Amino acid sequence: ETVNSQETKISDWLKANAKPDDVIGYDAKLHTRDQIKELADLDLKLQALDGNFIDMIWEDQPLPPDSDIEIFPDDIAGRSARLKIQLIASQMQKKDIDVLVLTLSDSIAWLLNIRANDIAHIPVALSYALVFSDGSVQWFIDEVRISDSVKAVLPDCIHFMPPDALEGMLRKFGGMHVWLDPKRSSVWFDKKLCFAESRILYEKDPCIDLRAQKTETEQEAMKKAHMRDGVAMVKFLKWF
């Protein structure tokens, strides 16, 4: 039976169709802590899985995106990556946080002043990052995607890490105070940190509000972009 997920919520379907003894497995990397809590509140038996059964049988699955990483210029961004990192580290220090886990690709793009084309029409690189209270950053991304010219511009507080090293790093955070966004981070992160016995602060990603507050430089760049777009539209309408 095919069900339109826009019309029927997963929680409603499971509540109507799951038997009392059914154990419902889910990919821990595809659901947030809050999403799973909503299902758990329905007294459903849930089991987090480290893998995805569909991936196991998907023989012609495309390779992960590997677009080139580009620098977003400071004169358009309004703040340097180093200054942004310092702003985040300052917030962490005030809350006595040791590590911030960043899972939103757009937050990482904003923080590091980088752009890529991993998702159509969204200029981000699919990756994860850990920000430490001392202002250092571990960026989990395939380093071959980053040219020497880009590395030369990025601040030296950014350390490139292979993506498969992330789980091992999370296991080292036992007893440490870790900031995790429960609405935007997958259960996988929550499970790994809880297993490591980390102290977790469940709070909104701090990059979100900061990047929403546009600097004067960003405002000016946006105005110029709208002017270029307007000229292009008028030229098109005249031709049409």
Q: How far apart are CA 155 and CA 63, in angstroms?
A: 30
Query: For the ranges 9-23, 79-93, 149-163, which has the lowest average pLDDT?
Result: 9-23
Residue 179 pLDDT greater than 90, yes or no: yes
At 3, the pLDDT band (50, 70, 90 cuts) reads confident
* 112 CB burial (10 A radius; 0-12, 13-18, 19+): buried
pLDDT of amino acid 35:
87
Q: How far apart are CA 23 and CA 49, in angstroms?
A: 12
Quote the crossing angle between the two packed helices 33-40 and 187-195, to the nearest 10°: 90
Long-range contacts of 214-222 (CB under 8 A, 24+ apart): 214/78, 215/78, 215/79, 216/78, 217/75, 217/76, 217/77, 217/78, 218/76, 218/77, 218/78, 221/76, 221/78
At 135, the pLDDT band (50, 70, 90 cuts) reads very high
Claim: this prediction has a pTM higher than 0.95:
no
Average pLDDT for 149-162 = 96
pLDDT of amino acid 5:
84
Average pLDDT for 19-38 = 90
Average pLDDT for 117-136 = 96
pLDDT of amino acid 139:
98
Average pLDDT for 122-142 = 97
CA 53, 56, 58, 62 torsion-angle sign: positive
Quote the crossing angle between the two packed helices 105-112 and 81-94, to the nearest 10°: 120
Quote the crossing angle between the two packed helices 10-17 and 33-40, to the nearest 10°: 30
Helices (H) and strands (E) in the chain, counts: 11, 10
pLDDT digits (tens, 9 = 90+) for 43-95: 888 999 887 888 889 999 998 899 999 999 998 999 999 999 999 999 999 99
